[in-house]
Amino acid sequence: MVTVRRRDAAPEPPWVHGVSPAVPPAQISVIEAVFREILRNNTMWQYTLKRLIQGITTVWFIATATFLAMHNVPGDPLSAERGTSEAIRANLAARYGLDKPLAEQYFIYLGNFVKGDFGISFTQQNRQVNDIIREHFPVSATLGVLAVIFAALGGVLWGALTALYRNRLPDTIIMFMVILGISVPSFVFAALGQLTLVNLNALFGISLLPVAGWGTVSHMLLPALVLGMGTMAYLTRLMRSSMLEIIHSDYVRTAKAKGLPAARIFSRHQLRNAILPVITVLGPAIAAITTGGFVVELVFAIPGLGRYFVQAVQQLDYTVIMGTTVFYGAFLVFMVIVVDLLYGWIDPRVRLQ
Amino acid sequence: MNPPLLEVSNLQVEFDTYGGTVKAVRGVDFTVEAGRTLAIVGESGCGKSVTVQALMGLIPMPPGRIMGGSATLRGIEILGRKTVQGREVRGAEIGMIFQDPMSSLNPTMTIGDQIAEPLQVHRGYSHRQALARAIELLELVRIPEAARRAAQYPFEFSGGMLQRAMIAMAISCKPTILIADEPTTALDVTIQAQILDLLKDLQRETGMAIILITHDLGVVARMADDVAVMYAGRIVEAGSVDDVFYRSAHPYTLGLKQAMPTNHRDAVQKLMPIEGSPPDLFAPPVGCGYCPRCPHAMSVCAAQPPAPFSVADAHYSRCWLQHAQAPRTVVGLYTGGHHD
Mean pLDDT computed over A140-154: 89
- Which of A1, A2, A272, A346 to probe by mutation at the B interface, max B CB count within 10 Å? A2
Least confident of A109-123, A151-165, A241-255, B106-120: A109-123
Report the chain A residue with the minimal C-alpha distance to residue B114: A255
Instruction: Give the helix/strand (H/E) hosting B212.
Output: strand B209-214
Does pTM surpass 0.80?
A: no
pLDDT band per the 50, 70, 90 thresholds, residue B1: low
Task: Give the distance from residue A290's alpha carbon to the nearest chain B alpha carbon, in angstroms.
Answer: 31
Mean pLDDT of chain A: 79
Residue of A254, A348, A353 with shortest CB distance to B104: A254
Would A180 be classed as within a structural domain? yes
Chain-centroid distance, C-alpha B262: 24
Residues of B with CB below 8 A from A272's CB? 108-109
Would A146 be classed as within a structural domain? yes
Q: CB neighbours of A130 closer than 8 A, spacing ≥ 6?
A: A116, A117, A118, A323
Q: What part of B 7-66 touches A (C-beta under 8 Å)?
A: 56-58
Which pLDDT value is given to residue A22? 46
Q: CB neighbours of A256 closer than 8 A, spacing ≥ 6?
A: A265, B56, B57, B58, B90
Task: Give the distance from residue A270's alpha carbon to the nearest chain B alpha carbon, in angstroms.
Answer: 9
For chain A, state the CA radius of gyration: 27
Write the pLDDT tens digit of every residue in A272-303.
888 888 888 887 788 778 777 788 888 888 88
Beta bridge partners of B21: B16
Contact B13, B50 (CB under 8 A): yes
Write the pLDDT tens digit of every residue in B298-332.
888 888 888 888 888 888 888 888 887 777 777 77
Residues of A with CB below 8 A from B142's CB? 2
Residues of A with CB below 8 A from B56's CB? 256-257
pLDDT band per the 50, 70, 90 thresholds, residue A6: very low
- Split into its structural domains, chain A has a count of 1
Task: Give the distance from residue B148's alpha carbon to the nearest chain A alpha carbon, in angstroms.
Answer: 14
Higher pLDDT, residue A43 or B28: B28
Would A238 be classed as within a structural domain? yes
Task: Give the distance from residue A174's alpha carbon to the nearest chain B alpha carbon, in angstroms.
Answer: 22
* Contact between B121 and A258 using a beta-carbon 8 Å cutoff: yes
3-state secondary structure of B253: helix
Report the chain A residue with the minimal C-alpha distance to residue B56: A257
Least confident of A6-20, A280-294, B263-277: A6-20
Would A229 be classed as within a structural domain? yes
> A259 in contact with B at a CB cutoff of 8 Å?
yes
Q: How many CB pairs under 8 A join A and B?
A: 97
3-state secondary structure A124-186: CCCCEHHHHHHHHHHHHHHHHHHHHHHHHHHHHHHHHHHHHCCCCHHHHHHHHHHHHHHHCCH
pLDDT band per the 50, 70, 90 thresholds, residue A82: low
Q: What CA–CA distance (Å, rounded) separates A228 from A223?
A: 8
* Contact between B118 and A255 using a beta-carbon 8 Å cutoff: no
Residue/partner pairs of B118-126 with CB below 8 Å, 24 or more apart: B118/A258, B118/A259, B118/A260, B118/B91, B118/B92, B118/B169, B118/B172, B118/B173, B119/B172, B119/B173, B121/A258, B121/A259, B121/A260, B121/A261, B121/A264, B121/B91, B122/A259, B122/B87, B122/B88, B122/B91, B122/B92, B122/B173, B123/B173
Would A347 be classed as within a structural domain? no
* Contact between A258 and B89 using a beta-carbon 8 Å cutoff: no
Q: According to CATH, where is 3.40.50.300 located in chain B? A: 6-224
> A256 in contact with B at a CB cutoff of 8 Å?
yes
Q: What part of B 120-139 touches A (C-beta under 8 Å)?
A: 121-122
Contact B143, B149 (CB under 8 A): yes
* Contact between A260 and B153 using a beta-carbon 8 Å cutoff: no
Task: Give the distance from residue B335's alpha carbon to the nearest chain A alpha carbon, in angstroms.
Answer: 40
* Contact between B118 and A259 using a beta-carbon 8 Å cutoff: yes
> A260 in contact with B at a CB cutoff of 8 Å?
yes
> A346 in contact with B at a CB cutoff of 8 Å?
yes
Instruction: Indicate if the pLDDT at residue B94 is higher than 50.
Output: yes
Phi and psi for B14 in degrees, rounded to 5?
-125, 155
Residue of B117, B142, B160 with shortest CB distance to A260: B117
CATH fold of B6-224, please?
A: Rossmann fold (3.40.50)
Residue of A253, A259, A276 with shortest CB distance to B122: A259
Which pLDDT value is given to residue A3? 43
* Contact between A251 and B169 using a beta-carbon 8 Å cutoff: no
Report the chain B residue with the minimal C-alpha distance to residue A253: B58
Residue of A251, A253, A348 with shortest CB distance to B58: A253
Contact B288, B306 (CB under 8 A): yes
Write the pLDDT tens digit of every residue in B161-177.
898 899 999 888 888 99
Instruction: Give the helix/strand (H/E) hosting B100.
Output: none
Instruction: Give the helix/strand (H/E) hosting B281.
Output: none
Mean pLDDT of chain B: 85
- Which of B117, B152, B185, B188 to probe by mutation at the A interface, max A CB count within 10 Å? B117
Report the chain B residue with the minimal C-alpha distance to residue A348: B108
Contact B235, B41 (CB under 8 A): no
* Contact between A259 and B190 using a beta-carbon 8 Å cutoff: no
Task: Give the distance from residue A278's alpha carbon to the nearest chain B alpha carbon, in angstroms.
Answer: 15
- Which of B82, B104, B174 to probe by mutation at the A interface, max A CB count within 10 Å? B104
Write the pLDDT tens digit of every residue in A225-272.
898 988 999 999 999 999 999 988 889 989 988 888 888 888 888 888
Residues of A with CB below 8 A from B57's CB? 256
Q: What is the CATH number of the domain that holds A245?
A: 1.10.3720.10
Domain membership of residue A276 as a residue range: 134-304
